[in-house]
Structure 1
Amino acid sequence: MDETKASAHFAGEDRDFWLPMSRVIAFEREADCSIFALFHNIGECIGAVDDSTVLIGPSAATLKQCHSLIRNALIGTGAPEQEAAELVKVYCYPARAAMLDLALTFKILNAAIYGVRVPEGSKKKAEAAA
């Protein structure tokens, strides 16, 4: 079974990020680009070294777009809009390396576009079947 929710350590704890259609629309209006365009813009310029995401070339993606996507994905999991905005303001660039924001954005978009496999027998799979 696939789901479209991403999980990552952010703002000092493990959090879920989800883009229901309403948040996709809100992001696309704010960022003036589609989730597919942002995914492409990030994907063509990143790679992996060991367990780290690295920049391997220039990208048309902006931090403003990344921060908007992260904020909308937090709201998608039920965070109040003000709280989501504050989390992005406090915990994203310049509070941490910009590459971490780019990598988180790509992870959220990958889950939204391709889905994330839920392992057989997992708690999430059991909850989805109930």
Structure 2
Amino acid sequence: MPDTAVDLDFAGGKYRFWLPMPQIVAIERGPAAHRHEGYPRSIFTMYEQIGAGLAPTQDGGTVFLGGGSALIGDVRNIILQGLIGGNHGMIDGEEQPVGPTTAARLIEEHVYPVRPISEAMALAWAILHSAIFGIDLKKKDETEAAPKSRSRSAKAK
């Protein structure tokens, strides 16, 4: 049976990202600053828009190819809501709860504009992918590594 939560490397630790219904509703309603601009929006639409700019790599990561019509506000909100829903981080071998305040701080300190958008897109896509399709519990331990993202310029180096 698939699990809809995923544990990913993020912000110097391993965090659980999960989207129970309250978090799905918050994502579809949109980030507070954009709620009047075409929201609510389906998570399926966001998943397709984010994924349109990404491609899988042979090592299981993702590479940003450009394009797509994802909104960075949605990307940040997906990560925020995933952290809140997961409410769990493992930092330096110690378990830490991740409530709304901690999640908001992590977003401000580790997501665009302080890190490249391509990293945030890959993370948001992985969170939505686990919610929509689930993660096979048998293979979960093998595939829990965070999606590795590179921009075209990083790939060319």
Say yes or no: TM over 0.5: yes
Shift of 1:11: 0.9
Name the one with the larger helix percent.
1
8 Å Cα contact 1:45-1:57 kept in structure 2: yes
Shift of 1:9: 0.5
1:58 matched to 2:77:
no
Write the mapping of 1:33-112 to structure 2, written as runs, cut at 5 A. 33-51=41-59, 52-78=61-87, 79-112=98-131
Aligned partner of 1:7 in structure 2 is: 7
Q: Which runs of 5+ in 2 are unaligned?
A: 32-38, 88-97, 142-157
Name the stretch that deviates more: 48-57 or 20-29.
48-57
| Matched residue type, 1:12 | G
What is the aligned length? 121
Q: Tell me how far apart the structure 1 counterparts of residues 138 and 69 of structure 2 sit (CA, whole Å).
A: 34
8 Å Cα contact 1:19-1:112 kept in structure 2: yes
Instruction: State the TM-score, normalized to the length of structure 1.
Output: 0.85
Aligned partner of 2:138 in structure 1 is: 119
Shift of 1:76: 0.4
Superposed structure 1 runs of 4+ greater than 6 Å apart: none
Q: Tell me how far apart the structure 2 counterparts of residues 43 and 91 of structure 1 sit (CA, whole Å).
A: 21
Shift of 1:49: 3.1
Name the stretch that deviates more: 100-109 or 73-82.
73-82
Alignment RMSD: 1.6
8 Å Cα contact 1:53-1:99 kept in structure 2: no
Q: Tell me how far apart the structure 2 counterparts of residues 117 and 102 of structure 1 sit (CA, whole Å).
A: 22
Aligned partner of 1:126 in structure 2 is: none
Name the stretch that deviates more: 42-51 or 68-77.
42-51
Q: Residues 11-57 of structure 1, C-alpha deviation per residue, up to 9 Å, x if partnerless? A: 10011100000110011112522110110111222112343411224
8 Å Cα contact 1:46-1:55 kept in structure 2: yes
Aligned partner of 1:125 in structure 2 is: none
Q: Tell me how far apart the structure 2 counterparts of residues 57 and 86 of structure 1 sit (CA, whole Å).
A: 28
8 Å Cα contact 1:66-1:101 kept in structure 2: yes
Instruction: State the TM-score, normalized to the length of structure 2.
Output: 0.72
| Matched residue type, 2:7 | S
